[in-house]
Structure 1
Amino acid sequence: MPVKVLFLTLKTFSLTGGIEKVCRSLSRVLYDLSEEEIVQSTVYSMYDKNTDRDSRYLSKQQFQGFGGKKERFVVHSFLSGLKADVILLSHIHLINIVYFIKKIHPNKKIYLLAHGIEIWKKLSDPKLKILNQLDKIICVSNFTAQKIMDMHHIPVDKIEILNNCLDPFYHLSTQFEKPKELLNRYRLNDENIILFSLSRLSSSEKYKGYDHTIELLPNLLEKYPTLVYLLGGKWDAIEKKRLDELIINNNLQDHIRMVGFIDETEITEHFLLSDMFILPSKKEGFGIVFIEALASGLRVIAGNKDGSVDALKGGTLGVLVDPDDQEGILNSICNLLKHKHTESEKKKLQEKCMETFGYAPYLQSIKNLLLNGAINPTQKVNLEQYTGIDKPKIYG
């Protein structure tokens, strides 16, 4: 008898952020497990419309978008939740829906995906009460798990670690030449050394580290005069003004390209264009952009104080730096640039990334969760020393 699974999301297809990418990959897992008749799955999205659905991830019968009609979404979710064996919640904002379901059916399995800043914040007492009633909190990184335990006093036996996977439809390149079209678009040539960052550029999220990278450019240009910093991502007006002033004050107009939003169809090409991806952030829940870069054979520098540690597999897939140590970051960039990354090295990095963050092991982990109530039924989460602080063991 298939396990009846209800997956509740805020947005899955109408945005391209990290949480939405997780929701799409998980939707595909539910589709594949449904095809095997292991589960019977339904996905509800509060804000997506039915027309937003991407048929690669879910069939029409499995998905319903409510187009922002919150009351209708809540009612349908509650009624369907009463009939489901397992309820998956994509976001902390959705936990109020399951309060009465858990009251009526105390043994019903309810799991919450915990990503990053959305659950690190102070929660109301009612939300904390519901959070403690959930069967498992599935954390995308050790850092997120530790934050939840520290801030909300969630017991370790309710915590599971499941690192995000690469989207099953992410374009993996077999060739690593720099795309000529992008070189022309950004007025670059083969002589340019290209650093690349891709992030939401928000005045309310000044922890990504791209501004610190800008501040390092004058020193880098003394040694690498052809270097160009490609800064991608949608910005707000306040942050754009701040960055423009920073660029002008450092006389970097000829060495920075602020390219704005990058369509998903061109993300791989931008990684191929670049010589290094750098984002020394302090508050990444995980950082799917890091594994996308690695899967494109691109060397990565990330911060060592957040979920980026998991995305770089503790530093085995890239370079971890102290985001507050400008000299250390500068030295790390220079050390990488001393060696030209060969095509065979890029291919090997891509293969290592896929071994760790590929879709198949992620699917198996979700299957274990739905059938056995744990990511790895044979092991328990153990606290271990991990980059300087005690954190739960990584699974998946």
Structure 2
Amino acid sequence: MPVKVLFLTLKTFSFTGGIEKVCRSLSRVLYDLSEEELVQSTVYSMYDKNADRDSRYLSKYQFHGFNGNKERFVVRSFLSGLKADVILLSHIHLINIVYFIKKIHPHKKIYLLAHGIEIWKKLSDSKLNMLNQLDKIVCVSHFTADKIMEMHHIPADRIEVLNNCLDPFYYLPKQFEKPQRLLDRYHLNRENLILFSLSRLSSSEKYKGYDHTIELLPQLLAEYPNLVYLLGGKWDAVEKKRLEDLIVKNQLQAHIRMIGFIDEAELTEHFLLSDIFILPSKKEGFGIVFIEALASGLRVIAGNKDGSVDALQNGALGLLVDPDDQQGILNSISILLQHSQTENEKKNLQEKCMEAFGYTQYLQSVKNLILKGSINPTASNQYPQKNIQINKPNSYG
């Protein structure tokens, strides 16, 4: 009999943040396991509409979007949860829905995905009580796992670490030329050295480190006058004004492009355009953008105090820097700028990233969790890995 799995999400297809990317990859895992007849899966999204569903990840029979109708979402989730064998929660905000399900069926398996700042905050007593009743808290990085154990006193045996994977449909380049159309769009030439950051530019999240990179540019330009910094991502008005003032103060108008939101269809091309991706953050739960950059063959500089350490495999895939050490960041940028990557070096970096964060490994780990109750069961109990062919679920529309 297939295991009945209910996956509850806030948003999966109508937004492109890190948590939503995790939800999409996990949805595809549930689709593939359903095709193997190992699970019978249903995905509910509180805020998505049915029309938001991307057919590459789920069939229309597996997905229901509630378009912001919280009452219907809660009632349907509760009733479906009573019938499910395993319930996956994409966010701690959903934990209250399963509280009474666990009371009625204490042996039902309930797993929470823990990403980053959403679970590092102080929690209410009721949420802490429920957190302690879950079967597993599945953390995207060791940093998130450590924070949960430290802040919420969850025992280590109820925590699993499952690094995020690269989206199975992420465009992997075979050639690594800088796209001419982006050079033209941003008024650049092939002699420009390009630093690139991509992040939500929020006045309430001043821990990403892009402002520190801006402050380093005058020193870098003394040695590399052709340097340009591309800063991508949605901004709020307050943060945009702060950054524009910082740019003017340092007289960097000719060397910084604030390019705003980047459509996912152009994401790989922006990594190909760049020479270094840099985001010395202090509070990344994991940082999917890092593995997207690496999968595009781009060198990465990230902070050494958060989940970025997992994304860079403890420094094996890129440079980890102290985000509070401006001189150290400056030195790291200079070291990389002194050497232009070859085509082979980019290809090797891409291959190493795929070995660490490919979809097939992620699918196997989720499969183990659902069927065995652990991401890393003993070797004798492990299911054999196999290569997964990613096909669109055409048969379901």
TM-score range relative to shorter protein: over 0.9
The 3-state SS of whatever aligns with 1:201 is: coil
Distance in structure 2 (CA, Å) of the matches to 1:226 and 1:339: 15
Could you list the runs of 5+ residues in structure 2 that have no partner in the other structure? 380-397
Aligned partner of 1:12: which letter? Answer: T
Q: Find the counterpart in structure 2 of residue 291 from structure 1.
A: 291
Distance in structure 2 (CA, Å) of the matches to 1:337 and 1:301: 12
The 3-state SS of whatever aligns with 1:194 is: strand
**1:170-189 superposed matches below 5 A:** 170-189=170-189
Distance in structure 2 (CA, Å) of the matches to 1:241 and 1:150: 37
Q: Find the counterpart in structure 1 of residue 216 from structure 2.
A: 216
Distance in structure 2 (CA, Å) of the matches to 1:71 and 1:314: 44
The 3-state SS of whatever aligns with 1:61 is: coil
The 3-state SS of whatever aligns with 1:133 is: coil
**1:66-145 superposed matches below 5 A:** 66-145=66-145
Q: Find the counterpart in structure 1 of residue 238 from structure 2.
A: 238
Deviations 1:61-120 (A, max 9, x none): 000000000000000000000000000000000000000000000000000000000000
The 3-state SS of whatever aligns with 1:102 is: helix
Q: Find the counterpart in structure 1 of residue 346 from structure 2.
A: 346
Q: CA deviation at 1:338?
A: 1.0
Distance in structure 1 (CA, Å) of the matches to 2:126 and 2:35: 38
Q: Find the counterpart in structure 2 of residue 368 from structure 1.
A: 368
**1:38-49 superposed matches below 5 A:** 38-49=38-49
Could you list the runs of 5+ residues in structure 1 that have no partner in the other structure? 380-396
Q: CA deviation at 1:129?
A: 0.1
Aligned partner of 2:142: which letter? Answer: N
Distance in structure 2 (CA, Å) of the matches to 1:60 and 1:298: 36
Aligned residues: 379
The 3-state SS of whatever aligns with 1:331 is: helix
Are 2:258 and 1:247 equivalent residues in the alignment? no
Aligned partner of 2:277: which letter? Answer: F
Distance in structure 1 (CA, Å) of the matches to 2:376 and 2:227: 45
Distance in structure 1 (CA, Å) of the matches to 2:182 and 2:378: 48
Are 2:300 and 1:300 equivalent residues in the alignment? yes
Q: Find the counterpart in structure 2 of residue 150 from structure 1.
A: 150
Q: Find the counterpart in structure 2 of residue 6 from structure 1.
A: 6
The 3-state SS of whatever aligns with 2:320 is: strand
Q: Find the counterpart in structure 2 of residue 384 from structure 1.
A: none
Aligned partner of 2:300: which letter? Answer: V
Distance in structure 1 (CA, Å) of the matches to 2:328 and 2:60: 51
Q: CA deviation at 1:177?
A: 0.2
Aligned partner of 1:144: which letter? Answer: T
Aligned partner of 2:26: which letter? Answer: L
Q: Find the counterpart in structure 2 of residue 278 from structure 1.
A: 278
Percentage identity across paired residues of the two chains: 83
Are 2:191 and 1:162 equivalent residues in the alignment? no
Aligned partner of 1:271: which letter? Answer: F
Distance in structure 1 (CA, Å) of the matches to 2:336 and 2:189: 20
Distance in structure 2 (CA, Å) of the matches to 1:241 and 1:265: 28
Are 2:374 and 1:378 equivalent residues in the alignment? no
**1:28-43 superposed matches below 5 A:** 28-43=28-43
Are 2:315 and 1:312 equivalent residues in the alignment? no
Distance in structure 2 (CA, Å) of the matches to 1:100 and 1:324: 45
The 3-state SS of whatever aligns with 2:262 is: coil
Deviations 1:253-280 (A, max 9, x none): 0000000000000000000000000000
Q: What is the aligned-residue RMSD (CA, Å)?
A: 0.5
Q: CA deviation at 1:289?
A: 0.1
Question: Normalised by the size of structure 2, how large is the TM-score?
Answer: 0.95
Distance in structure 1 (CA, Å) of the matches to 2:290 and 2:213: 16
The 3-state SS of whatever aligns with 2:282 is: coil
Question: Normalised by the size of structure 1, how large is the TM-score?
Answer: 0.95
The 3-state SS of whatever aligns with 1:60 is: coil
